[in-house]
Structure 1
Amino acid sequence: MSMIWLGLRNLARSRLRLFVVLGLLSVAFYLALTMTAIGNSMSARTEALQGSVNNTLQLRARGSMSHINMVRNDDLIPEGALEQVRSTPHVAKVEPYLLAMTPTAGMGFAMIIGVEAGDTKRLESHGEAGLPRLIAGRDLTAADDGDSVAIIGQGYAEFLGISADELGSATVTLDLRRGHPMIYPMDRPARTLKVVGIYASGYTFGDVQLFMPLSTMREIYGVPEQLSWLYVAADSAENVPAVAAALREKLGNQVGIIAPTNVANFQTRVSGSVQQLTVTGSVLAYALVLIVVFFLMLLLVRERRREIGTLKALGVPAGSIVVSLLTEAIAFTLIGALLGAGAFALTGAGVMEGLLTHGATPWLPARYQDAFASSLSLTAGLAPMTLATVIGAALLVALAGSLYSAYQTLRLSPLEAIRHE
Structure 2
Amino acid sequence: MMRLGLRNLLRSPARLLIVALLIGVPFFLLLVMQAIGQAAQQQTEVLKQNVNNTLQLRARGAMGHVNMVGNEDLLPQDALERVRQVEHVARVEPYLLAMTPTESTNFAMIVGVTPGDTKRLESHGEAGNPRILAGRDLTEADRGQQVAIVGQGFAKWAGIAPKDLDHATVTLDLQRTHPVIFALDRPPAALKIVGIYASGYVFGDMQLFLPIDTFREIYGVPAGISWLFVKADSAEHLPQLEQKLRALLGDVADIIAPTNAAEFQNTATRAVLRLTQAGAVLAAVLMVVVVFFVMLLVVRERAWEIGTFKALGASNRGILLGFLTEALALCAVGALLGTLLFRIWGGPLAQQAFGLGVAPFLPAQYKDTLIQALPLTADIGLATAGLLVLVDVVAALAGSAWGARQIVRLSPMEAIRHE
Q: Which band: TM-score by shorter chain? A: over 0.9
Q: For residues 112 and 291 of structure 2, what CA distance do their matches in structure 1 show?
A: 56
Counterpart residue number, 1:39: 37
In 2 relative to 1, CA 387–296 (structure 1 residues): closer, same or farther, beyond 3 Å? Answer: farther
Structure 1 equivalent of residue 362 of structure 2: 364
Paired residue secondary structure (2:388): helix
- Percent same amino acid among aligned pairs? 56
Distance 2:3 2:270 in 1: 50
1:386 to partner: Cα distance: 2.8
Structure 1 equivalent of residue 50 of structure 2: 52
The 2-side partners of 1:326 and 1:181 are apart by 72
1:153–1:198 contact (8 Å) kept in structure 2: yes
Q: What are the within-5 Å matches in structure 2 for residues 66-145 of structure 1?
A: 66-106=64-104, 108-145=106-143
Deviates more, 1:177-186 or 1:154-163: 177-186
User: Deviation per CA, 1:186-237, whole angstroms, max 9, x where unpaired?
Assistant: 1222211111111111211111110111111111112222111111111112
Aligned mates of 1:262, 1:310 — CA distance in 2? 68
Q: Which residue of 1 aligns with 2:418?
A: 420
Which residue in 2 is equivalent to 1:263? 261
> What secondary structure is seen at the aligned counterpart in 1 of 2:251?
helix
Q: Distance in 2 between matches of 1:305 and 1:107?
A: 75
The alpha carbon displacement at 1:262 in A equals 3.5
Secondary structure class of the residue paired with 2:276? helix
Quick one: distance in 1 between partners of 2:39 and 2:172? 36
Distance in 1 between residues matched to 2:181 and 2:97, nearest whole Å = 12
Alpha carbons 1:110, 1:209 under 8 Å: kept: yes
1:254 maps onto 2:252 in alignment? yes
Distance 1:107 1:155, change over 3 A: farther
Distance (Å, rounded) in 1 between the aligned partners of 2:118 and 2:214: 17
Question: Which residue number in structure 1 is paired with residue 167 of structure 2?
Answer: 169
Partner of 2:333: 335
User: Is 1:217 paired with 2:218?
Assistant: no
Q: Quick one: which of 225, 228, 231 aligns to 1:227?
A: 225
Greater shift, 346-355 or 192-201, is seen at 346-355
- 57-66 or 368-377, which deviates more: 368-377
Secondary structure class of the residue paired with 2:209: strand
Deviation at 1:65, TM superposition (A): 0.6
| Aligned counterparts of 2:7 and 2:111: Cα–Cα separation in 1 | 66
- Structure 1: runs of 5+ lacking an equivalent: none
How much has 1:174 moved relative to structure 2?
0.9
**Secondary structure class of the residue paired with 2:72:** coil
> Does the aligned pair in 2 maintain the 1:69–1:100 contact within 8 Å?
yes
The secondary structure found in structure 1 opposite 2:58 is: strand
Alpha-carbon offset, residue 124 of structure 1: 0.8
**In structure 2, what is the Cα distance between the partners aligned to 1:412 and 1:355?**
45
- Corresponding residue for residue 205 of structure 1: 203
Query: Which whole-Å deviations, capped at 9, do the CAs of 1:352-380 have from their partners, x for residues lacking one?
Result: 22222122222223232221222212112
Q: Indicate the larger mover: 314-323 or 162-171.
A: 314-323
CA RMSD of aligned residues (A): 2.3
When normalised by structure 2's length, the TM-score is 0.92
2:375 corresponding residue in structure 1: 377
* 1:258-407 aligned within 5 A: 258-313=256-311, 321-399=319-397, 401-402=399-400, 405-406=403-404
Alignment check: 8 A CA contact 1:129 1:262 kept: no
Post-superposition Cα deviations, 1:31-60, rounded to whole Å, max 9, x if no partner, equal 222222222122222222222222111000
Q: Aligned partner of 1:241: which letter?
A: P
SS of residue in 1 equivalent to 2:208:
strand
Does the CA-based 8 Å contact 2:331-2:395 persist in structure 1? no
TM-aligned CA deviation for residue 136 of structure 1: 1.2
Q: Which amino acid aligns with 1:408?
A: Q
Q: Is the 8 A contact 1:57 1:257 kept in 2?
A: yes
TM-aligned CA deviation for residue 316 of structure 1: 5.9
CA contact (8 A) 2:146 2:192 kept: yes
In 1, distance between residues paired with 2:126 and 2:394?
45
How much does 1:93 deviate?
0.8
Q: Deviation per CA, 1:268-314: give whole Å up to 9, x if none.
A: 22222222222322333333333433443333333322232344456
Corresponding position of 2:25 = 27
The 2-side partners of 1:205 and 1:410 are apart by 63
Q: Which one of the candidate residues 378, 385, 406 is aligned to 1:408?
A: 406
Amino acid at match of 2:23: L
Q: Is the 8 A contact 2:118 2:128 kept in 1?
A: no
